[in-house]
Chain A
Amino acid sequence: MANQQAGSILQFAPFQSAVDEGFWHRLSSLKLNKLGIDDSPIPITGFYAPCTHSQVSNHLTLLMESLPSDSDEESSVTATSHGNRNRCSVPGTLYNTNTLESFRAIDRESLLKEEAKKIWEDIHSGKAIDDSAVLSRFVLISFADLKKWNFHYSVAFPALVLNPPATLVDLRPASQWFSSQEAEAVRAACNEWRNSSATADEPFFLVSIDSNSNSTIRHLKDWEAFQNDCQKLLFGFYDPCHLQNNPGWPLRNFLALIFSRWNLKSVHFFCYRENRGFADMGLSLVGEALITVPQGRAAEIGDHQCVPNAVGWELNKQRKVYRCISLAKSMDPTRLAISAA
Chain B
Amino acid sequence: MVLSQRIHEAFKGTVERITAPRTVSAFKEKGVLSVSEFILAGDNLVSKCPTWSWESGEPSKRKSYLPAEKQFLITRNVPCLRRAASIEEEYEGAGGEVLVDNEDNDGWLATHGKPKDKLDDDDNLPSMEALEISMNSNVHQSISNHFGGEEEEDIPDMAEYEESNSLIEADPATLQPTYLVAHEPDDDNILRTRTYDVSITYDKYYQTPRVWLTGYDESRMLLQPELVLEDVSQDHARKTVTIEDHPHLPGKHASIHPCRHGAVMKKIIDVLVSRGVEPEVDK
Q: What residues of chain A have their CB less than 8 Å away from a CB belonging to chain B?
A: 3, 9-14, 16-22, 25-26, 52-53, 55-59, 61, 64, 69, 71, 73-74, 76-77, 80, 84-87, 104, 108-109, 112-113, 150-152, 159, 161-162, 165-166, 194-195, 242-243, 246, 252, 274, 276-278, 309-331, 339-340
Contacts and interface: CB of A to CB of B under 8 A. Distances in A.
A340 B3 CA distance: 7
Nearest to B77: A58
29 contacts: A14-B174, A14-B177, A18-B195, A18-B220, A19-B220, A20-B214, A20-B222, A22-B249, A26-B250, A52-B51, A59-B77, A59-B220, A61-B76, A73-B59, A165-B172, A165-B173, A246-B175, A311-B168, A311-B171, A317-B218, A320-B158, A321-B158, A322-B155, A323-B149, A324-B152, A326-B149, A327-B251, A329-B252, A339-B1
A21 B219 contact: no
Given A56-B195, A109-B163, 8 more contacts: A9-B173, A55-B79, A55-B193, A77-B59, A109-B161, A276-B124, A320-B151, A323-B151
Which of B69, B195, B222 lies at the interface centre, i.e. has the most chain A CB atoms within 10 A of its CB?
B222
Interface string B173-190: 111010110010000001
A310 B251 CA distance: 37
Interface of B: 1, 6, 49-53, 56-59, 68-69, 75-79, 81, 120, 122, 124, 145, 147-152, 155-159, 161, 163, 165-169, 171-175, 177, 179-180, 183, 190, 193, 195, 197, 214, 216, 218-222, 224, 249-252
Given A12-B175, A104-B155, A276-B124, A325 B221 contact: yes
A340 B1 contact: yes
A80 B69 contact: yes
A14 B50 contact: no
B196 to A, nearest CB: 11
A77 B158 contact: no
A118 to B, nearest CB: 15
A340 B2 CA distance: 7
A340 B177 CA distance: 42
B177 A319 contact: yes
B175 A55 contact: no
